[in-house]
Copies of this chain bind each other. A is one copy, B any other.
Amino acid sequence: MPGPVVALAGGVGAARFLRGVAAAVPPGEVVAIVNTGDDHPFYGVHVSPDLDIVLYTLAGRIHPERGYGLAGDSFAVVDALGALGHETWFRLGDRDFATCLHRTLRLRAGERLAAVTDGIRRAFGVETHVLPMSEDPCPTFVTLDGGRRVHFEEYLARDGAPDDVRGVDLSAARAARPAPGVLEAIAKARALLVCPSNPVVSIGPILAVPGIREALAAARAPVVAISPIIAGAPVKGPADRLLRGIGVEVSARGVAGLYRDIARGFVLDERDAALAPDIEALGVRTAVLDTLMRDTATSIRLAEAALGLAASLE
């Protein structure tokens, strides 16, 4: 079956997985549809955390330890802003800042987010196609104890992802339109993957955009999701706190339940093999392997397993 491999993607986990997908198949045949619910203006520039994590990772320029930002970046701008009295809890590197400033200037000039993202992709020499889920503002808010409502980046980067999550507000995404190319890519995909990303605040916003869930259901290719939870804990990030916050079990089984209406296949870690029967009981085919992406080789192995499961479902 021709057509691209299309993957719904958040940040670090997705980026590492996409690195594997783009090695397992020709990278120009891969389309990442990326969460923009984390997008936020900082220091007057349009920051798109997940788009940039994906692009920087695929360009081989991601900061290896942090998983976001550019390797070797400096922080002169943010430190100088701090000396001028600005809050600087969002530590945007200088070169990273330039990416976001470029995005802001192009948007201000009337270019749309998908086109701007594609320009950045080309400038970074990335062959994988990277689409924002939407060009409309889709801020994700987290509601905390006492009703306090904060943007996701405030929750994560400023407040350190506290545990008192009461709910996640995706109403902006629910009122947004898919970016140009998103529904078309899903329709013509030869495989549809849900990256091992935070199901609540990374994949959740993508699925909340009207039309995307329907497009997945109508697509000719089956959807295969990869669990971001290994042995009851996220590899990175606050997925545990957010899953608990919306009343979902922090496990591969909990995530599979969230995806049961869209996914026909589910890849989970061998440490969670005991959960596979429960997931199969949901009507979802499973594949079990070591899913921890330590390097490109393990990313490729995981991508191949997911693509293999997708092929078996056709």
Chain A positions near chain B (C-beta within 8 angstroms) = 43-44, 73-74, 76-81, 83-86, 93-95, 97-99, 101-102, 104-105, 108, 119-120, 123
Q: What residue of chain B has the Cβ atom nearest to residue A98's Cβ?
A: B80
| A80–B72 alpha-carbon span in the complex (Å) | 13
In the complex, which of the residues B85, B97, B123 contacts A123, with contact meaning CB atoms closer than 8 Å? B85
Given A120-B84, A123-B84, do A77 and B105 touch, yes or no (CB 8 Å)?
no
CB of B76 within 8 A of CB of A94, answer yes
Closest 10 CB pairs of A and B: A80-B98, A76-B94, A80-B95, A84-B102, A77-B98, A81-B98, A84-B123, A77-B94, A44-B105, A94-B94
Q: Determine how many copies of this chain the complex contains.
A: 2
| A98–B99 alpha-carbon span in the complex (Å) | 15
| A270–B105 alpha-carbon span in the complex (Å) | 51
CB contacts (< 8 Å) of A119 on chain B: these are 84-85
Given A77-B97, A101-B77, do A83 and B43 touch, yes or no (CB 8 Å)?
no
| A98–B93 alpha-carbon span in the complex (Å) | 12
Q: How far is the CB of A141 from chain B (nearest CB, A)?
A: 23
| A270–B137 alpha-carbon span in the complex (Å) | 65
CB of A81 within 8 A of CB of B94, answer no
CB contacts (< 8 Å) of A44 on chain B: these are 44, 101, 104-105, 108
CB of B105 within 8 A of CB of A80, answer no
Q: How far is the CB of A88 from chain B (nearest CB, A)?
A: 10
Q: How far is the CB of A104 from chain B (nearest CB, A)?
A: 6
CB contacts (< 8 Å) of A79 on chain B: these are 95, 98
CB contacts (< 8 Å) of A104 on chain B: these are 44
| A73–B79 alpha-carbon span in the complex (Å) | 12
CB of A99 within 8 A of CB of B84, answer yes
Q: Which of A102, A119, A120 has the most CB of B within 10 A?
A: A102
| A102–B80 alpha-carbon span in the complex (Å) | 9
Besides A44-B104, A73-B76, 7 other CB < 8 A contacts?
A43-B101, A43-B105, A44-B101, A79-B98, A80-B97, A81-B101, A85-B123
CB contacts (< 8 Å) of A80 on chain B: these are 94-95, 97-99
